[in-house]
Amino acid sequence: MRQGGFTEDLGFTPEILTFYLQPAETIAEREAALFLERTEGRIDDETAAVMLQLGLRLMLDFFGLLRMKRFLRNIHREAPVEARTPTTRRTREARG
């Protein structure tokens, strides 16, 4: 990240990443619960391990794509919703 320009001089300190902790915990907790609800007692440990190895990697890619899509939507905003005029807001909403 530092080599990419995300330096402490610009305010990109390790502490700003702490907002990832709670969402990551929530997602991981829900994923684990769903996996166990659907597989516990129904498949053996080896099959579960193979499924998790594949599934975790695929869901990481899937979540990354969802996040990227929403990030790009937000980075292209003209102004925060509160600062937009009613005309600008209607125009943006019409475009989707």
- Would you kindly state where each structural domain of the chain is located, as residue ranges? 8-95
Q: What is the pLDDT of residues 56-80, one digit of tens each?
A: 999 999 999 999 999 999 998 765 5
Q: CA-CA distance, 16 to 88, in Å (whole number)?
A: 31
Predicted local confidence at residue 95, as pLDDT: 53
CB-facing half-sphere around the CA of 26: CA atoms within 13 A: 5
Q: CA-CA distance, 4 to 39, in Å (whole number)?
A: 42
**Exposed e or buried b per residue across 48-66, where buried means at least 16 C-beta atoms within 10 angstroms of its C-beta:** beeeeeeeeeeeeeeeeee
Predicted local confidence at residue 76, as pLDDT: 86
Predicted local confidence at residue 80, as pLDDT: 59
Predicted local confidence at residue 82, as pLDDT: 61
What's the pTM value of the predicted model, to 2 decimals? Answer: 0.66
Q: CA-CA distance, 24 to 44, in Å (whole number)?
A: 27
pLDDT above 60: residue 83: no
pLDDT above 90: residue 40: yes
